[in-house]
A and B are shown apart, each in its own frame.
Chain A
Amino acid sequence: MKLILLFTLIFGSLHCIALEKVVGNLYFKNYLGHLHKNPSRGSSSLTIIQCAYPVKVLDDTEKSAPEGWVYAKVGDDRGFIQSGFLDIKRPDCFQEKYPNFYLNLNLDLTDMYYWGRLNDQYLLEESKTQ
Chain B
Amino acid sequence: MKTLVALLFILNVSAQEVNELSNSIKTQPKVKLLQEEKEQNLMDYSNIKSVLKKDGLKKFKDKKSKNVEEIKQVKTEIELAKYNYPASDDFWSFMSEYWLVKNAQVLQWDFSKPKYGIAKAFRSTWV
Q: How far is the CA of A123 from the CA of B111 in the complex (A)?
A: 15
Partner of A98, one of B85, B118, B119, B123: B85
Contact with A along B83-101 (1 / 0, CB 8 A): 1111000100010011011
Partner of B94, one of A94, A126, A127: A94
Q: How far is the CA of A116 from the CA of B42 in the complex (A)?
A: 81
Interface residues of B in 93-127 (CB under 8 A from A): 94, 97-98, 100-102, 104, 109-113, 118-119, 122-123, 126-127
Shortest distance between the CB of B85 and any CB in chain A (Å): 6
Contact with B along A72-99 (1 / 0, CB 8 A): 0000000000000000000000100111
Is B54 at the interface (CB under 8 A from chain A)?
no
Let me know if B97 and A127 touch, CB within 8 A: no
Contact with B along A97-124 (1 / 0, CB 8 A): 1111100010000010011011001010
Let me know if A128 and B126 touch, CB within 8 A: yes
Is A41 at the interface (CB under 8 A from chain B)?
yes
Is B82 at the interface (CB under 8 A from chain A)?
yes
For B126, the chain A residues whose CB sits under 8 A away are: 125-129
Partner of B86, one of A98, A123, A127: A98
For B83, the chain A residues whose CB sits under 8 A away are: 100
Residue count of chain A within 8 Å CB distance of chain B:
23
Partner of A111, one of B102, B109, B113: B102
Shortest distance between the CB of A102 and any CB in chain B (Å): 9
**Contact A99 to B82, CB < 8 A, known contacts A111-B102, A114-B101, A121-B109:** yes
Is A42 at the interface (CB under 8 A from chain B)?
yes
Q: Which residues of A contact B (CB under 8 A)?
A: 31, 40-42, 94, 97-101, 105, 111, 114-115, 117-118, 121, 123, 125-129
Which are the 10 A-B pairs with shortest beta-carbon distances? Answer: A42-B112, A114-B104, A114-B101, A117-B110, A100-B83, A115-B101, A99-B82, A125-B126, A100-B82, A123-B122
